[in-house]
Chain A
Amino acid sequence: MNVKRRVAVVGAGITLFRRRLKETGKELSYLAANAALESAGMTMDDIDCVVMGTAPDAFDGIHMKADNLLDGAGATRKPYSRVYVGGGTGVFSPIGGWWHIASGLFDTCLVVAEEKMSPCIPHPQTAFRTIWDPIITRPLNPNLVWIFALEMNRYMKTYNIPKEHIAMVAVKNKGNALDHPSAQLAAKITVEDVLNSETMVWPVQRLDISPPSDGAAALVLTSEDVARKFTDAPVWIDGVGWSLDSAYWTNRDLCFPQYVAEAAKMAYKMAKITDPPKEVDFAEPYDPFTYKELHHMEGLLLAKKGEAPKLTAEGVTQRDGDLPMCPSGGLLGVGNPIAAAGLMKCCEMFWQLRNEAGKRQVSGAETGVAQAWGDLMQVGTVTVFRR
């Protein structure tokens, strides 16, 4: 790996995350982009190029929606591109921004992620009907939650994981989100509440699932020289990694996300991390479902295979534990506007590493890892941030 230049994060911003927001996608992009610029002490004149992360067009109902969103991201007449890897897009978008600067091509890049799921009525799930292979899968009339339930069950059976331990992720993340002003589903709940909630697709229950949401997030990235001019406290993107596996998800063992491990290894190598559980202070693994936080902790090599649930039960992943997971409140608590939710995790790392997270602050946080996941359970995107 030959990284030419170190890349800094100097600003971050997000909107409220809600089931429905009145603003258009373009307006949401503007609100988040502007918040990030304000936080960096910059204006659009300081920005060389823009990267947009936005996930399925089918939710907004606007084909090739990044072109529609461009104005809101401040990208008119600038080098602009959209990056897209399904649910992995949110953490992939700063990786896209990182390329622009690490390569030496540009000094500053605004990264914006937007998602509006509410326009797809009555439920955005309908938009997922077209994700399937039309020849061999669609005739079975699948619901996307099926595949996650199948993966969750495989994971539980392989490692003999009690549902109670998985339910603790919802309790922790919704509780953490109580301290996040943007959060959609912050709540004080119990393990019993999760286990007694409606069964959607067993073993997935109502409180195991993150909600559909609207929202946007943004980061400002710069070269080292530029960062020093704007702030005394830059946060560094010291590692990036991404990897995708085949769409033939029934042809591999779902108990472990190998593609996430490949992405994590790439990012750790770049960041010179050799013992992740010791060298990482906190992480924001992708948690659209409770079990995914645990599955991804293992994929990120922060826990041994099958051991993340035990660590969770022991309190290790609490905000004041030895290895906090999702101090933001995650997708389960803050909400899941797909691409914006992934970038929210990177925003959280920025605030944590700048000691600006207020009540959510993890003490002594110096190295954080964010990760997202998506498509047909086949993509892992990872970033390592340091202060």
Chain B
Amino acid sequence: MSEKVKDLRGTRLSAADLESKDTITFRGRPNAKYAWSAGIAYTKYLEELKNGRIVGRRCRQCDRVLVPPRMFCEQCFRATDEWVYVKGTGKINTYSISYLDADANRIKTPILVAVVDLDGASPGIGILHKLGNVDIEKIHVGMPVQAVWKPTNEREGSVTDILYFEPIKEE
């Protein structure tokens, strides 16, 4: 704001004002529904998750193994070349501990979230997932973890076919 300007423009409205019958407000809720095709790359990715395997795509030009897979390399801007299975193990790249649900409601039992760099993918190629069966105090960047899968008959071809990643017990 300029010191030359003396009038402040805008009228504050409280939460109570917005709820109150004295204030004219209108309510609505969109009712749009969608059905998405998973596409070429993700269809294979999800089918393989159902099989208990994680698949990526290799770009031979930059020699990266990309997970999640895509049919083209966004850096080389050419078609990727082949399907490559990566491991269900990896290391925590970064993590956080969420006391908020998807709608920003407070939750008592935190959701443990991480980016996991998968073994067999290129360095720095990670996926977003959850952590489980882990002592919160012991989670750290670089921690070796492994995928814990849903029982075969409960898998549906979704990223949630992996329940979470848990620490690999050190021998």
Contacts and interface: CB of A to CB of B under 8 A. Distances in A.
A202 B97 contact: yes
B28 to A, nearest CB: 7
A140 B128 contact: yes
B101 interface: yes
A143 B102 contact: yes
Interface string A203-231: 11000000000110000000000000000
Given A39-B2, A137-B128, A251-B126, A123 B94 contact: no
A307 to B, nearest CB: 20
Nearest to A182: B1
A258 interface: no
Contacts of A136: 42, 45, 68, 159
Contacts of A356: 2-4
A143 B10 CA distance: 31
Most buried by A among B46, B97, B125: B97
B125 A20 contact: no
Tier of interface size on chain B: 35 or more
Contacts of B81: none
A199 B17 contact: no
Nearest to B28: A61
A39 B5 contact: yes
A23 B10 contact: yes
Contacts of A32: 9
Given A16-B12, A149-B96, A140 B74 contact: no
Interface in A113-154: 118, 121, 123, 125-126, 129, 134-137, 139-143, 145-147, 149-154
Contacts of B151: none
Interface residues of A, number: 67
Contacts, number: 177
Interface string A1-39: 000000000001111111111110000100110010001
Nearest to B14: A20
Contacts of A358: 1-3
Given A13-B5, A143-B98, A204-B96, 18 more contacts: A22-B17, A39-B5, A125-B100, A126-B102, A129-B103, A134-B36, A137-B128, A150-B96, A154-B115, A157-B94, A181-B1, A181-B8, A201-B98, A201-B113, A248-B68, A251-B67, A251-B125, A254-B115
17 contacts: A13-B5, A18-B13, A31-B9, A126-B103, A142-B113, A143-B100, A145-B100, A152-B96, A154-B115, A181-B1, A199-B97, A201-B99, A214-B10, A250-B127, A251-B124, A253-B124, A351-B2
Interface of B: 1-5, 8-15, 17-18, 23, 28, 30, 34, 36, 38-39, 42, 45-46, 66-68, 74, 93-104, 110, 113-115, 124-130, 141, 158-160
